[in-house]
Amino acid sequence: MISKKVHQAMNEQIRHELESYYIYLSMVAYFHARNLDGMAHWMRCQAHEEMIHAMKFMDHILDRGGAVKLQDLKQIKTAWQSVEEVWQDTLAHEQFITGKIHGIVKTARAEGDYASDTLLNWFTKEQLEEEATAEKIVRQIEMIGHTKEGLFMLDKELGARIFPAGSPLDPAAYNLAT
């Protein structure tokens, strides 16, 4: 049986992951509206990963005999002043999520919850990668400044991100791309 404190923290983390999903979908809409289809595609892939993260916590709670209590999502941001601001928000959000994951790791260790270790190790590594990727994109945006050519090239590069197979967020999955 999962400890009460870890259970509560993971239930809250499901909300954070679903809010991440929602935030990145909001960014998908922002980028598409500005014809930055590569960045929109990158964010769709990211949103997909956030949904997977929520499901990983959900399955872990269920496997341990706990109840999943889905919580209300907060109103998320729907407008940005610039492309740079979107990416800065992405980095700040991933840093926030890393803090939350580390908090669960501390709770699990204090509670002697070794069954959560494998899952939490996966998330710790995942956050390291996600923060590093977001940080790199923020630095690249700073490098290209506000040049249209630079933005165009970065948009192309980010559009090459591979969609997880069978993602429901992939337009190809519901035939919009053909």
Give me the residues that bind ligand FEO (CB under 6 A), please: 17, 20, 50, 53, 94, 97, 130
Query: Which tokens belong to 122?
Result: 């996966």
Q: Tokens 């991440």 correspond to what residue?
A: 20
Q: How far is the CB of 167 from ligand FEO (least distance, A)?
A: 15
72 secondary structure, DSSP code: P
Q: How far is the CB of 56 from ligand FEO (least distance, A)?
A: 9
Which is nearer to ligand FEO, 50 or 155 (by Cβ)? 50
Return the half-sphere exposure (C-beta side, CA atoms, 13 A cut-off) of residue 99: 6
Which is nearer to ligand FEO, 125 or 156 (by Cβ)? 125
Q: How far is the CB of 97 from ligand FEO (least distance, A)?
A: 4
| Alpha carbons 91 and 79: distance in angstroms, whole number | 17
| Alpha carbons 36 and 48: distance in angstroms, whole number | 19
Q: How far is the CB of 31 from ligand FEO (least distance, A)?
A: 17
Which is nearer to ligand FEO, 20 or 26 (by Cβ)? 20
Residue 9 CA: distances (Å) to CA of 108, 141, 142: 9, 35, 36
Residue showing the smallest CB distance to ligand FEO in the complex = 53
Pick from 21, 5, 99: nearest CA to 53: 21
Query: Which tokens belong to 144?
Result: 């290209």
Q: How far is the CB of 50 from ligand FEO (least distance, A)?
A: 5
Which is nearer to ligand FEO, 113 or 130 (by Cβ)? 130
Which is nearer to ligand FEO, 133 or 153 (by Cβ)? 133
| Alpha carbons 21 and 43: distance in angstroms, whole number | 9
What amino acid occupies position 120?
Answer: L
